[in-house]
Structure 1
Amino acid sequence: MAETFVLVHGAWHGAWCWGAVINQLEKLGDHAYAVDLPGHGMNRADRSKVTLESYVDSVAEFIERQDLKNVVLAGHSLGGLTIPGVAAKIPARIKRVVWVTALVALDGQPIVDPATSPLAALAESQPEKSIPIEMMGKEFLDGLSNDMAPAVKEYVLSAVGPQPIGPMIAAVPMAPYFATGIPSSYLVCEDDKTPVAGAPNWHPHFSSRLKNPTLKFVKSGHEVMFTHPVECARALHELARGE
């Protein structure tokens, strides 16, 4: 039976980043869609007004508009903040939620403290309260692209757009998602070197915050959609089937 995937991008990215993975999922006989979150890609929302709630609403509304059912909802990186809200909003349409080397928040807490984080202060000084990826610094960019060919890195960095701070400083409600009982999975990218405050490793630091998640491991850095799309799609396909 074909699986139905809705793929949510992370910070700075857009639906475009999932192109190769969608192609591979379709080769496996599945259906896959990617959504531009507000302020990203072709979604021209005012970045200064973008919130985590608007992220959640945009994905939920897409799923409802397309009348999708038994959806495997997958989020990469910062997309991990959006997907639990979507699942809690429309649980009857969601089969499984997959964090793809993604952030998992603690219930009621933001990923970035708006009062103390230099990132929040930096965003406030920028147009549209958004941060260009270049301002994240060399250590972050090197970690993000540690296994990317130079040409791929150049393409990705040329395609990304500024990241609104709103969703990053929002309290993330996890309890409503856990209350749904929808199964969780975590796709571990074993070579992910992207630095995150308080997280020496994305797994198990973030994956351990989920309740009994199934795990799949891919030998990849953070940008798995570009460097290992075949393996990423295969892992998502297997997770969708409970394998």
Structure 2
Amino acid sequence: MAVFVLVHGGSHGSWCWDACAGALRSAGHRVVSFDLPGHGQDPTPRDQVTLKAYGEVIRDQLKQCGSESPVLVGHSLAGIGIAEAMAHEPLAIGQLVMIAALVLKPGERAIDRIPESRRPSYFELAAASSDQSFALSAEVTRRVFFNDLNDTQASGYHAKLTPQPLGVYLETTRFDLSEISCPKHFFACRQDQALGLENNLIYAQRLGGSITTLDAGHDVMLSEPDLLAQSLMERLGMR
């Protein structure tokens, strides 16, 4: 049985993994999920959240796995947090899985990979906030995150989102995830309206390793948690 360390994306929290984590645990696996700084229930002031802070928390969670080499799973913006964690020091992981995630080259910034149509609003919302964060409207999250969920589900999940610290989008990536030597896998989401399928496949090629395409939206762990859990176990050779 494996140990899965699940890292959420921007504006989300560990709550987004609950159903998928439950399916993995039912199959006998151990699952760890947590809130990144300034997300979910974490009290870190959002104007103090940095990419370094993301990386430190991810490293701490991996170290707590002890001698076990976990399966590290990152969704969306978690790609840059995981890269920061790996830039600091080598960490033993058994396999790396990116789900509709940013895979940046050293020197790139997350903000530059956001569609130009949405980019200005991030700066405008952050400037209008008290803590340099931005909160996407329910209309936007319904379209880009929850497009394959029903209205009730989309509304409920939107209420759980927290404002996203802008600062981490503006910092440059220091580590190329393709350099990790363990088996790597990318799960692309065919209905992804946040990154788009084309970008999913670009990031998959950047990462290297296997590519699995799921017929789901950006938040596949919410819309298809059982499918995601089963796909993870099958792709990683588990049952």
Distance in 2 between the 1:145 and 1:102 partners?
A: 16
In the alignment, is the contact (CA less than 8 A) between 1:88 and 1:180 conserved in 2?
no
Residue 98 (structure 1) aligns with: 97
Identity score, percent: 28
Post-superposition CA distance 1:193-228 (Å, at most 9, x none): 22x4xx663331221221x32112221111111110
Distance in 2 between the 1:31 and 1:90 partners?
A: 24
Residue 154 (structure 2) aligns with: 153
Are 1:204 and 2:205 matched, yes or no? Answer: no
In the alignment, is the contact (CA less than 8 A) between 1:5 and 1:33 conserved in 2?
yes
Residue 82 (structure 1) aligns with: 81
Following superposition, the deviation at residue 143 of structure 1 comes to 2.8
Measured at CA, do residues 54 and 92 of structure 1 come closer, stay the same or move farther in structure 2, by a change above 3 Å? closer
In the alignment, is the contact (CA less than 8 A) between 1:100 and 1:186 conserved in 2?
yes
Are 1:224 and 2:215 matched, yes or no? Answer: no
What are structure 2's unaligned runs of at least 5 residues?
none
Measured at CA, do residues 156 and 166 of structure 1 come closer, stay the same or move farther in structure 2, by a change above 3 Å? same
Partner SS, residue 94 of structure 2? strand
Residue 215 (structure 1) aligns with: 211
Distance in 2 between the 1:18 and 1:216 partners?
A: 19
Aligned pairs, number = 233
Partner SS, residue 157 of structure 1? helix
Measured at CA, do residues 148 and 12 of structure 1 come closer, stay the same or move farther in structure 2, by a change above 3 Å? same
Are 1:192 and 2:192 matched, yes or no? Answer: yes
Following superposition, the deviation at residue 101 of structure 1 comes to 1.0
What are structure 1's unaligned runs of at least 5 residues?
none
In the alignment, is the contact (CA less than 8 A) between 1:4 and 1:72 conserved in 2?
yes
Post-superposition CA distance 1:86-117 (Å, at most 9, x none): 3444544211111111111122210115xx95
Residue 164 (structure 1) aligns with: 165
Residue 127 (structure 1) aligns with: 130
Distance in 2 between the 1:122 and 1:190 partners?
A: 29
TM-score, normalised with respect to structure 2: 0.88
Post-superposition CA distance 1:39-68 (Å, at most 9, x none): 011211010010111001011112223426
Q: CA RMSD in A?
A: 2.3
Partner SS, residue 73 of structure 2? strand
Tell me which amino acid in the other structure corresponds to 1:165.
L
Measured at CA, do residues 90 and 16 of structure 1 come closer, stay the same or move farther in structure 2, by a change above 3 Å? farther
Superposed counterparts of 1:40-119, under 5 Å: 40-67=39-66, 69-89=68-88, 91-113=90-112, 117-118=119-120, 119=122
Partner SS, residue 215 of structure 1? strand
Distance in 2 between the 1:138 and 1:4 partners?
A: 36
Partner SS, residue 22 of structure 1? helix
Tell me which amino acid in the other structure corresponds to 2:236.
A
TM-score, normalised with respect to structure 1: 0.87
Following superposition, the deviation at residue 184 of structure 1 comes to 1.8
Following superposition, the deviation at residue 151 of structure 1 comes to 1.3
Distance in 2 between the 1:213 and 1:26 partners?
A: 26
Residue 236 (structure 1) aligns with: 232
